[in-house]
Chain A
């Protein structure tokens, strides 16, 4: 058990509504990541965090924002959901030293209609 939980696990929302996905970890991992997984693509990095209140953009960050006010929580917000953001979202985390493994949450299935 990697101690990473995502919520909600499944959500259907309407275009234009805001959506927040939560990632909670219990292992005091320093680094946390949000990825999206789509058919034909590998996991793509949306945003990541390297500490409390320290975040940066990944390769597909447009339309997404994140916040990390506590070590254990990393929130992903879609300010105004679009159909192109229908995807499976994975949170991941790892400790702060090089060479260590990465742990993933169970995924959040988001459908924007």
Chain B
């Protein structure tokens, strides 16, 4: 069993829909990252969370440390949101190098 599990693996939505991507992890963590990867492109950090909730534009990320679960929400989705969204955790005891463990990603396609 992977330390970081994401669901769903694939998601298709129509423009304007509210989207939720989930991330569950099995280890104690000091931080959780949400990343975005466009086709053929690099990886961009969207959020880093250690508790609570963060919002940036139409993106909202929440984390529940007790339940070992995080969600990424996209409001009023748009085709340009089409990408792979990756959850990564920094486990407690990862050391000063803060190595991350990554989920396999959720592929989102938003259609017109």
> Could you tell me which A residues sit within 8 Å of B by CB distance?
31, 33, 40-45, 48, 50, 56, 58, 90, 92, 94, 98-107
Contacts and interface: CB of A to CB of B under 8 A. Distances in A.
Interface of B: 2, 4, 30-31, 33, 35, 41-45, 48, 50, 86, 88, 96-105
Contact of B43 (A31, A98, A100, A104): A104
Q: Which 6 A-B pairs have the closest CB atoms?
A: A42-B102, A104-B43, A106-B42, A43-B102, A101-B45, A42-B104
Contact of B45 (A40, A44, A50, A102): A102
Given A40-B104, A48-B97, A104-B44, 15 more contacts: A31-B98, A33-B99, A41-B104, A42-B2, A42-B103, A45-B99, A48-B99, A90-B42, A99-B48, A101-B33, A102-B33, A102-B45, A104-B35, A104-B42, A107-B42
Contact of A102 (B2, B50, B100): B100
